[in-house]
Chains A and B, each alone.
Chain A
Amino acid sequence: MSEVAVKGAVKRYGSIAALDGVDLTFADGEFFGLLGPSGSGKTTLLRSIAGFIELDAGEIRIDGTDISRIPVHQRNIGMVFQNYALFPHMSVAENVAFGLDVRNVPASEIRERVGESLDLVRLTGLEARRPKQLSGGQQQRVALARALVTRPKVLLLDEPLSALDKHLRQEMQVELRRIQRQIGITTIFVTHDQEEALTLSDRVAIFNKGQVVQAGAPRTVYQWPVNRFAAGFLGEANFLEGKVVGVLGHEARVAIPDGSEIVVTHQGIANGANVLVALRPEKISIEPGGSQAPRLNRVIGRVQAAIFSGSSLTYRVSVGDRLFVVFEQNKNRAPLVEQSAVTLEWETADNVVVQP
Chain B
Amino acid sequence: MTPTTRTRWAILTLTGPAYLWLACTIFLPLLAMLALSFLDKSPLVPKPASFTLDNYGAYFSKGFYWPLTLWSIQLGFWVTFFCLLIGYPAAYALAKRIKGRWREAIFLLIVLPFWSNALVRIFSWTMVLRSNGIVDMSVQAMFPGAPSIDLLYSYPAVIIGLTHSYLPYMILTCYIALQAIDDSLMEAGRSLGATAFTTFRRVVLPLSLPGIISGAALIFVPVIGSFMEPRILGGTKGATLGMNIEEQFTVTANWPLGSALSFILLAIVLIIFGILYPFLRKQGGEA
List B contacts of A166 (CB < 8 A): none
A81 adjacent to B188 (CB under 8 Å): yes
Interface size class of B (residues with CB under 8 A): 20 to 34
Distance A77 CA – B191 CA, assembled complex (angstroms): 6
Distance A75 CA – B191 CA, assembled complex (angstroms): 8
One of A96-104, A197-205, A211-219, A305-313 at the interface: A96-104
List B contacts of A349 (CB < 8 A): none
Interface size class of A (residues with CB under 8 A): 20 to 34
Closest A residue by C-beta to B209: A89
**Chain A contacts with B in 78-96, Cβ cutoff 8 A:** 78-79, 81-83, 85-89
Distance A304 CA – B86 CA, assembled complex (angstroms): 70
Binary interface profile of A, 233-258, with partner B (CB < 8 Å = 1, else 0)?
00000000000000000000000000
Distance A85 CA – B191 CA, assembled complex (angstroms): 11
Instruction: Name the one of A50, A75, A89, A150 contacting B207, with C-beta atoms under 8 angstroms.
Output: A89
Q: Does B203 contact A (CB under 8 A)?
A: yes
Interface of A is mostly: loop
Known: A102-B193, A102-B198. A87 touches B188 (CB 8 A): yes
Closest A residue by C-beta to B188: A85
Distance A103 CA – B202 CA, assembled complex (angstroms): 13
Distance A50 CA – B189 CA, assembled complex (angstroms): 12
Q: Does A126 contact B (CB under 8 A)?
A: no
Interface of B is mostly: helix
**Chain B contacts with A in 206-250, Cβ cutoff 8 A:** 206-207
**Chain A contacts with B in 82-133, Cβ cutoff 8 A:** 82-83, 85-89, 98-99, 102-103
List B contacts of A79 (CB < 8 A): 187-188, 191
B193 adjacent to A150 (CB under 8 Å): yes
Distance A83 CA – B203 CA, assembled complex (angstroms): 16
A72 adjacent to B185 (CB under 8 Å): no
List B contacts of A72 (CB < 8 A): 187, 190-191
Binary interface profile of A, 314-346, with partner B (CB < 8 Å = 1, else 0)?
000000000000000000000000000000000
A103 adjacent to B187 (CB under 8 Å): no
List A contacts of B207 (CB < 8 A): 88-89
Q: Does B184 contact A (CB under 8 A)?
A: yes
A102 adjacent to B188 (CB under 8 Å): no
Q: Does A73 contact B (CB under 8 A)?
A: yes
List A contacts of B203 (CB < 8 A): 87
B194 adjacent to A73 (CB under 8 Å): yes
Distance A146 CA – B207 CA, assembled complex (angstroms): 19
List B contacts of A50 (CB < 8 A): 187, 191
Return A48 CB to nearest CB of chain B, in Å.
Answer: 13
Q: Does B287 contact A (CB under 8 A)?
A: yes
Known: A87-B203, A88-B287, A89-B207. A81 touches B193 (CB 8 A): no
Return A89 CB to nearest CB of chain B, in Å.
Answer: 5
List B contacts of A83 (CB < 8 A): 182, 184
Distance A72 CA – B206 CA, assembled complex (angstroms): 22
Distance A82 CA – B188 CA, assembled complex (angstroms): 11
Return B279 CB to nearest CB of chain A, in Å.
Answer: 16
Minimum-distance CB pairs A-B, first 8? A99-B192, A85-B184, A85-B188, A79-B191, A102-B194, A72-B190, A89-B287, A81-B184
